[in-house]
């Protein structure tokens, strides 16, 4: 039997705001435990929440970037449950009237396993806003709780059951994170818990219209873990069906070390959250005027920017994809390209040399000591033949170390490419005189022999001869 997997994702992202969702505590990570707290986010009795307008705005930004409909009327609800990470015994969330509805995230490129993916849209069901809960850490016989992140605005982004392979889910997570970073919705660092995802997956015989029983997987700490968990779970479910075992809706936990999922709770033990409207908050009405103002501030979406890079700068799809992965990198490239330097050459320098030295130094592109203008100048020097590509690499290394402009490095190191044909002819004459064997081979039709003569000229000129002119001169002299 041929089976099809069906996958839907629920992603939580902390919004980047100055303060928390319903109180004035800082929305900040990395503080001493339980220092960014107050009676509101500690859930003391008798306190009242005050809505954070910036969090609403940020959620609308996320919605607009994903093409959602923004609800003109939405409200908050209490999601009741009993657990120490939420001492008031309910989380303020949105139930039936979320801020954003529908929408889509375009995916393209490659999945985690490197298989190329057909470009398509993954549908969204909704994006709603809620408050984050405290972080509990469990030790052998006790647990500790940190309330610093309790009450931080949290977006929940729910996809349609619209994906069919672990690679698609991986590409979706990557694309979603990219859009949210572009729009500055949040930092989306999974290691810091700023982005979390739960995966829902079922399988069904291909061609069957009805969806299979949904299994939700929790405890996924990276996109890679989501991919692995899906691969594991799809096989497990297919094997269960093949052996005639019935699957039931349940929640499972991913164990990253063992690479397996195990049962957390079955549907019978599922929570009944007893949602009801939050009586301490007014509904949210987003007026057309505010919506227009927000729309006017939206950045270009990554997919659009990718397409524009191909169009405006003649880049390949692949290059455009690499360069737009991160907004800061795309900005870097574009600032350099706007100086008029050769865009294709710039793209190559950014993707090879710049990204390599940055990753070696463990730096982000924003911290690059080589400015876009400096890189553009370097590309210009090479294009003009003032220095060779080979020299350019050394110059680049110096630029990165010292922060100097390329012309200054070239002057300091005396790295000037020899483009005087009289001087080059003299080197070529010497190389031919010393390389009788190579000359004979070349004349006998072995094109490759020219390379050893070029190498000899480069050696004689201590790397300074302009390679294009050397080849030309050699070809002329040898007929
Ligand atoms: P719940 O009420 O349990 O949260 P939802 O219907 O809200 O369930 O769906 C939660 C997530 O599960 C969504 O991302 C949705 O796309 C996905 N999903 C729903 N049904 C299935 C299914 N049969 N197989 C796979 N994913 C599913
Ligand atoms: Zn607080
Ligand atoms: Mg749900």
CATH code of 444's domain: 1.10.10.410
For the CA of 212, the nearest atom of ligand 1: 23
Mean pLDDT of 214-224: 96
The label of the residue with tokens 């509904």 reads 283
**pLDDT grade for 468, boundaries at 50, 70 and 90:** confident
**pLDDT grade for 384, boundaries at 50, 70 and 90:** confident
Any domain includes 397: yes
Any domain includes 297: no
Distance from residue 462's CA to the centre of ligand 3 (Å): 68
Closest ligand to the CA of 270: 1
Distance from residue 330's CA to the centre of ligand 3 (Å): 35
Q: How many angstroms separate the CA atoms of 128 and 471, rounded?
A: 64
**pLDDT grade for 406, boundaries at 50, 70 and 90:** very high
Counting residues of the chain whose pLDDT is more than 70, the rounded percentage is 100
Tell me the DSSP string of 81-145. Answer: ---TT-TTSEEEE--SS-SEE--EEEE-SB-TT--B---EEEEEEEEEEEE--PEEEE-SS-EEE
Q: How many angstroms separate the CA atoms of 467 and 479, rounded?
A: 18
Does one domain contain both 350 and 446?
Answer: no
Does one domain contain both 388 and 466?
Answer: no
Distance from residue 257's CA to the centre of ligand 3 (Å): 28
Report the nearest-CA residue for atom 21 of ligand 1.
214
Report the nearest-CA residue for atom 11 of ligand 1.
8
Distance, C-alpha 56 to centroid of its chain: 24
Q: 7 with 211: CB under 8 angstroms?
A: no
Does one domain contain both 409 and 428?
Answer: no
Indicate the burial class of 66 (C-beta count within 10 angstroms; 0-12, 13-18, 19 or more).
buried
Mean pLDDT of 5-19: 98
Q: 61 with 111: CB under 8 angstroms?
A: no
Any domain includes 350: yes
The reported pLDDT for the residue numbered 386 is 85
Listed in sequence order, the residues at least 6 apart from 376 whose beta carbon sits closer than 8 Å to its beta carbon are 336, 337, 339, 340, 341, 346
Report the nearest-CA residue for atom 19 of ligand 1.
161
Q: How many angstroms separate the CA atoms of 222 and 153, rounded?
A: 21
- Residue 168: pLDDT over 90: yes
Q: How many angstroms separate the CA atoms of 315 and 292, rounded?
A: 33
Does one domain contain both 47 and 77?
Answer: yes
**What is the overall mean pLDDT for the chain?**
94
The reported pLDDT for the residue numbered 95 is 97
Rounded to 10 deg, the angle between the 166-182 and 302-313 helix axes is 80
Q: How many CB atoms lie within 10 A of CB 367?
A: 10
Counting residues of the chain whose pLDDT is more than 90, the rounded percentage is 84
For the CA of 211, the nearest atom of ligand 1: 23
Does one domain contain both 318 and 465?
Answer: no
Does one domain contain both 171 and 75?
Answer: yes
For the CA of 202, the nearest atom of ligand 1: 24
Does one domain contain both 401 and 427?
Answer: no
- Residue 128: pLDDT over 90: yes
- Residue 281: pLDDT over 90: yes
The reported pLDDT for the residue numbered 413 is 86
Any domain includes 296: no
Tell me the DSSP string of 430-472. Answer: HHHHH-HHHHHHHHTT-TTHHHHHHHHHHHHTTT-B-HHHHHH
**pLDDT grade for 394, boundaries at 50, 70 and 90:** very high
Eight-class DSSP state of 240: H
Burial profile 412-422: b = 16 or more Cβ within 10 angstroms, e = fewer: eeebebbbeee
Of the ranges 100-114, 152-166, 316-330, 451-465, the best mean pLDDT one: 152-166
Q: How many CB atoms lie within 10 A of CB 352?
A: 12
- Residue 351: pLDDT over 80: yes
- Residue 353: pLDDT over 80: yes
Indicate the burial class of 38 (C-beta count within 10 angstroms; 0-12, 13-18, 19 or more).
middle
Any domain includes 344: yes
The reported pLDDT for the residue numbered 461 is 86
Report the nearest-CA residue for atom 5 of ligand 1.
158
- Residue 21: pLDDT over 80: yes
Which is higher by pLDDT, 461 or 203? 203
**pLDDT grade for 414, boundaries at 50, 70 and 90:** confident
Report the nearest-CA residue for atom 25 of ligand 1.
201
For the CA of 216, the nearest atom of ligand 1: 12
The reported pLDDT for the residue numbered 385 is 82
pLDDT tens track for 427-441: 999 999 999 999 999
Distance from residue 212's CA to the centre of ligand 1 (Å): 11
Contacts for 23-29 with beta carbons within 8 Å, 24 or more apart? 23/49, 23/50, 23/151, 25/151, 27/152, 27/153, 28/148, 29/148, 29/149, 29/192, 29/194
Model pTM? 0.85
Does one domain contain both 284 and 405?
Answer: no
Any domain includes 40: yes
Return the structure tokens found at 458: 């480069």
The reported pLDDT for the residue numbered 47 is 95
- Residue 388: pLDDT over 90: no
The reported pLDDT for the residue numbered 418 is 82
Distance from residue 288's CA to the centre of ligand 1 (Å): 32
Mean pLDDT of 166-174: 96
Q: 169 with 227: CB under 8 angstroms?
A: yes
End position of a domain, from candidates 262, 291, 320: 291
The reported pLDDT for the residue numbered 108 is 84
Is residue 75 helix, strand or coil? Answer: coil
**Bridge-based pairing state of the strands 153-159 and 143-146:** unpaired
The reported pLDDT for the residue numbered 20 is 98
Tell me the DSSP string of 324-344. Answer: HSSHHHHHHHHHHHTTT--HH
Any domain includes 367: yes
Distance from residue 385's CA to the centre of ligand 1 (Å): 60
* Beta bridge partner(s), residue 250: 215, 266
**pLDDT grade for 110, boundaries at 50, 70 and 90:** confident
- How many domains does the chain divide into? 3
The reported pLDDT for the residue numbered 118 is 87
Listed in sequence order, the residues at least 6 apart from 359 whose beta carbon sits closer than 8 Å to its beta carbon are none
* Residue-range definition of the domain harbouring residue 397: 302-413
Q: 229 with 260: CB under 8 angstroms?
A: no
Does one domain contain both 146 and 29?
Answer: yes
Does one domain contain both 425 and 402?
Answer: no
Query: What's the count of helices (H) and strands (E) in the chain, helices before strands?
Result: 16, 17
Distance from residue 413's CA to the centre of ligand 3 (Å): 63
- Residue 308: pLDDT over 90: yes
Listed in sequence order, the residues at least 6 apart from 475 whose beta carbon sits closer than 8 Å to its beta carbon are 450
**What are the helix (H) ranges across 122-268?**
166-182, 223-242
Q: How many angstroms separate the CA atoms of 222 and 231, rounded?
A: 14
Does one domain contain both 309 and 339?
Answer: yes
End position of a domain, from candidates 291, 322, 357: 291
Mean pLDDT of 236-246: 95
Q: 12 with 175: CB under 8 angstroms?
A: no
Report the nearest-CA residue for atom 13 of ligand 1.
8
Does one domain contain both 12 and 89?
Answer: yes
The reported pLDDT for the residue numbered 479 is 77
End position of a domain, from candidates 291, 325, 349: 291
* Ligand 1 residue neighbourhood (C-beta within 6 Å): 6-10, 158-161, 200-202, 211-212, 214
The reported pLDDT for the residue numbered 463 is 79
- Residue 102: pLDDT over 80: yes
**pLDDT grade for 458, boundaries at 50, 70 and 90:** confident
- Residue 415: pLDDT over 90: no
């Amino acid at each position: 039997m041929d089976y099809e997997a069906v996958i839907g994702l629920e992603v939580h992202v902390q919004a980047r705001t100055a303060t928390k969702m319903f109180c004035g505590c800082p929305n900040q990570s990395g503080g001493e435990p339980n220092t960014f707290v107050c009676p509101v986010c500690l859930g003391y009795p008798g306190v009242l929440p005050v809505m954070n307008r910036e969090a609403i705005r940020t959620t609308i930004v996320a919605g607009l970037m994903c093409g959602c409909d923004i609800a003109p009327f939405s409200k908050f609800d209490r999601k009741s449950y009993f657990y120490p990470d939420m001492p008031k015994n309910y989380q303020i969330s949105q139930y039936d009237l979320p801020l954003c509805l529908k929408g889509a995230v375009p995916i393209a490129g490659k999945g985690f396993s490197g298989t190329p993916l057909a470009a398509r849209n993954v549908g969204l069901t909704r994006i709603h806003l809620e408050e984050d809960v405290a972080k509990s850490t469990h030790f052998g016989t006790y647990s500790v709780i940190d309330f610093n992140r309790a009450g931080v605005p949290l977006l929940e982004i729910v996809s349609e059951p619209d994906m069919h392979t672990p690679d698609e889910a991986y590409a979706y997570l990557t694309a979603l994170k990219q859009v949210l970073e572009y729009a500055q919705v949040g930092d989306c660092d999974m290691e810091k818990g700023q982005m979390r995802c739960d995966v829902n997956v079922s399988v069904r015989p291909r061609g069957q219209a009805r969806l299979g029983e949904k299994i939700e997987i929790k405890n996924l700490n990276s996109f890679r873990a989501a991919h692995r968990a899906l691969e594991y779970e799809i096989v497990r479910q297919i094997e269960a069906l093949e052996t005639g075992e019935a699957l039931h809706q349940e929640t499972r936990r991913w164990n990253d070390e063992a690479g397996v999922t195990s049962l957390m709770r079955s549907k019978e033990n599922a929570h009944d959250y007893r949602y009801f409207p939050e009586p301490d908050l007014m509904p949210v009405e987003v007026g057309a005027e505010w919506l227009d103002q927000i729309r006017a501030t939206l950045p270009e979406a990554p997919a659009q920017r990718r397409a524009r890079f191909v169009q405006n700068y003649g880049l390949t799809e692949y290059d455009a994809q690499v360069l737009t992965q991160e907004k800061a990198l795309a900005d870097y490239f574009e600032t350099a390209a706007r100086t008029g330097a050769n865009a294709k050459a710039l793209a190559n320098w950014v993707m090879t040399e710049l990204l390599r030295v940055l990753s070696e130094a463990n730096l982000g592109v924003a911290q690059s000591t080589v400015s876009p203008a400096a890189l553009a100048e370097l590309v210009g020097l090479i294009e003009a033949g003032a220095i060779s590509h080979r020299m350019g690499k050394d110059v680049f290394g110096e630029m990165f170390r010292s922060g100097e402009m390329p012309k200054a490095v070239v002057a300091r190191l005396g790295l000037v490419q020899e483009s005087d044909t009289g001087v080059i002819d003299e080197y070529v004459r010497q190389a031919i005189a010393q390389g009788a064997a190579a000359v004979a081979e070349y004349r006998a039709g072995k094109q490759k022999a020219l390379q050893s003569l070029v190498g000899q000229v480069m050696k004689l000129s201590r790397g300074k001869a302009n390679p294009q002119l050397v080849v030309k001169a050699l070809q002329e002299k040898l007929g």
